[in-house]
Amino acid sequence: MTNPATELRDRALAFRSLHVPGRPLLLPNAWDVASARLVEDAGAGAVATTSAGVAWALGAADGDRLDRDRALRAVERIAGAVRVPVTADIEGGYAQDPQGVADTVRAVLAAGAAGVNIEDAAPHGTGPMRPAGEQAERIAAARAAADATGVPLFVNARVDTFLRGAGGVDDTLERAAVYLAAGADGIFVPGTVDPGTVKELAEGIQAPLNVLAGPGAPPAGELAALGVARVSVGSGVAEAAYALVRRAARELLGSGTYDAQTGGLAYGELNELMAGKR
């Protein structure tokens, strides 16, 4: 019989091994069991959640507005539905202080996830960024909580300098160094895909670099050549899926036609995928 703790440790180790500069881990982020199984079925080596997609699917807005319990129940369902490692986007840690972040990380591990993203954007309406020292304390708490369980959780520290217009390369590198010293394993810098900037970040950060990509961004192969180790699409796939819902609804309610539904997955194919056992 498989030991759940040993299985999670093995998943975490496998997930770590996927972060290779020049051969990046590609993550089409998922938000529920169906999207996670589709991502896995497409051949992804891991499944990453999108906090925005999870929040929207549960009827909440993104930006630390979804409560921890509901968010992590979604993570638990996803982790239990796929064979590949799962990494959870936990926004700012769903907590006000480092101890609360530690509690969240313990709950993440109990849910079966092998990694987390923790962002340094300030809580909604309080400013662009948390002070780097304060964020380092939160990362250190996450690291200690994971290490105490014996699971080498991959802590991906998100630096929102570019996303929030709060700094450039130098500011990002400074924060990255502080977070790595606090126990982070990787650095996630959303908000820029400029090749020159990405190259500077990849060369200046002494850890795997994760970037956020989407329409208009360089292809994954070009990002790989710049030294990127992980490429995420964040809420992009969820946004595209919900855009289809709106187009189909407006079409039916407007012209009474059904063209937006063309190219959808066959009922039997999707139903068979959902019927599969992990």
Tokens of residue 162, six digits: 């570019």
Most distant CA atoms of the chain, gap in Å: 59
Beta bridge partners of 87: 48, 115
Distance CA 81, CA 277 (A): 8
The DSSP result for 153-221, as a single string, is: -EEEEE--TTTTT---HHHHHHHHHHHHHHT-SEEEETT---HHHHHHHHHH-SS-EEEE--TTSPPHH
Q: What is the pLDDT along the chain (278 residues), one digit of tens a residue?
A: 567 789 999 999 999 999 999 999 999 999 999 999 999 999 999 999 999 999 999 999 998 899 999 999 999 999 999 999 999 999 999 999 999 999 999 999 999 999 999 999 998 767 799 999 999 999 999 999 999 999 999 999 999 999 999 999 999 999 999 999 999 999 999 999 999 999 999 999 999 999 999 999 999 999 999 999 999 999 999 999 999 999 999 999 999 999 999 999 999 999 999 998 55
Distance CA 100, CA 96 (A): 6
Distance CA 207, CA 156 (A): 10
pLDDT, tens digit, for every residue of 202-238? Answer: 999 999 999 999 999 999 999 999 999 999 999 999 9
Of 76, 68, 59, 135, the closest CA to residue 95 belongs to: 68
Cβ burial, residue 250 (10 Å; 0-12/13-18/19+): exposed
Who's near 6: CB < 8 A, 6+ residues apart? Answer: none
Phi-psi region of 201 (alpha: psi -120 to 50; beta: other; left: phi over 0): alpha
Confirm whether pTM is higher than 0.85. Answer: yes
Beta bridge partners of 231: 26, 211
